[in-house]
Structure 1
Amino acid sequence: MDNLNATAATLLGFLHTGEASGYELLAIAEEVVGAFWTVTRSQVYRELAALAERGLVRAGDTGPRSRVRYNITEAGRDAFAQWIATPPGPEQIRYPLLLNIAFGGHLDRACLLFHVDQHRTVHQARLRSYQARLESAGIDPYERATLAFGIRYEDAVLAWMDDLPAILGPADEPPAEKQDPASREGSG
């Protein structure tokens, strides 16, 4: 059997706890992994159809609002077990604010810091949410470990944001001229 992609495996992981519709799976994904793994509506329905075609999930009858509930099959449990036992690849940071920072020399400093402040609000809210969930009853050690990472990540991002004005230097200092990438090729 060919390997699962991470989104398909995520859906199978959620289906271990019981049947769910695509709509419900999307809501679960947003709550449980949404802060660090993006799952879109189109991906959920595309993957559910592919998983059903491969015999890894079984589609039930169409219910209210044309929602179909899915159950994981034994083949799906086996495929998930193979996927979860495979070492994960390295993380990839995809943080749009970092693109603005990387090219910040082309942007008014006040505008750049405004973007940072908008992101700060999001990270502060996420940190409070993680802390509240960590204090709630009934979370297993794996969710506790995931939340602990999230809390440390948010703390680190907020500390970095606090340090940004000093890192960027005085507001009236022009950004240093950057070397032309073409001239770097011949200098190695």
Structure 2
Amino acid sequence: MTRSPINPTAASLLGFLHAGEASGYELLGCAEAFIGDFWSLTRSQVYRELTALEQRGLVVAGDTGARSRRPYALTDAGREAFASWVAQPPDTEQIRYPLLLTLAFGAHLDTGRLLEHVERHRLTHEERLAGYLGLESRGGLDAYQRATLRFGIHYERAALAWMDELPAILTGTTEAADPR
């Protein structure tokens, strides 16, 4: 019997379950901490996927415990489904960047207001960069976690450099350098 492939959200849950059984609440916490800056999961997605994974025999649910938390454990079929998913070439990313969307329609907004939005976003990027650098300095990450973390560091630095250019670009005070 050929099984349909799992989606990336389901795969991430299976990936986290390799570390041991966990409740939906715990899995959501893992996702927020480990992949939340580049892959979002909502509570409803987590529980919907866990139900579907259980129906497919990829996880098994334990008895409901304290605070109505139900632990899930990875099955051999779940390990196989995850191994199949992780071996496939990933799709090309598609940026969903709300600030960039607003900027695309910036002609309909006062430049000063738009730059205020940029400054609010700058704080988030500065905080993320500081957090990533802190994680890097603590060490204890495997090579794959370090590689992922390094992407985050480079991304945040690039976003901040781009934000540095925006006032000149938007006010026309100087030509922005062409990065090519």
Q: What range is the shorter-chain TM-score in?
A: over 0.9
> Which has the larger Rg?
1
Partner of 1:38: 40
1:83 maps onto 2:85 in alignment: yes
Q: CA deviation at 1:136?
A: 1.2
CA distance in 2, matches of 1:56, 1:156: 39
Q: CA deviation at 1:137?
A: 2.9
Q: CA deviation at 1:70?
A: 0.3
CA distance in 2, matches of 1:126, 1:11: 23
1:17 maps onto 2:19 in alignment: yes
Q: CA deviation at 1:165?
A: 1.1
CA distance in 1, matches of 2:35, 2:140: 17
CA distance in 1, matches of 2:169, 2:110: 16
CA distance in 2, matches of 1:137, 1:36: 21
CA distance in 1, matches of 2:48, 2:13: 11
Q: Quick one: which amino acid aligns to residue 29 of structure 1?
A: A
Gaps of 5+ in 1: 172-188
Partner of 1:176: none
Q: CA deviation at 1:138?
A: 1.5
Give 3-state SS (helix, strand or coil) of 1:61's partner.
Answer: coil
CA distance in 1, matches of 2:48, 2:83: 21
Gaps of 5+ in 2: 174-180
Matched ranges for 1:27-176 at <5 A: 27-170=29-172
Q: CA deviation at 1:112?
A: 0.3
Report how many aligned residue pairs link the two structures: 171
CA distance in 1, matches of 2:143, 2:133: 15
CA distance in 2, matches of 1:166, 1:137: 38
Percentage identity across aligned positions?
63
Give yes or no for contact 2:10–2:49 (8 Å, CA) kept in 1: yes
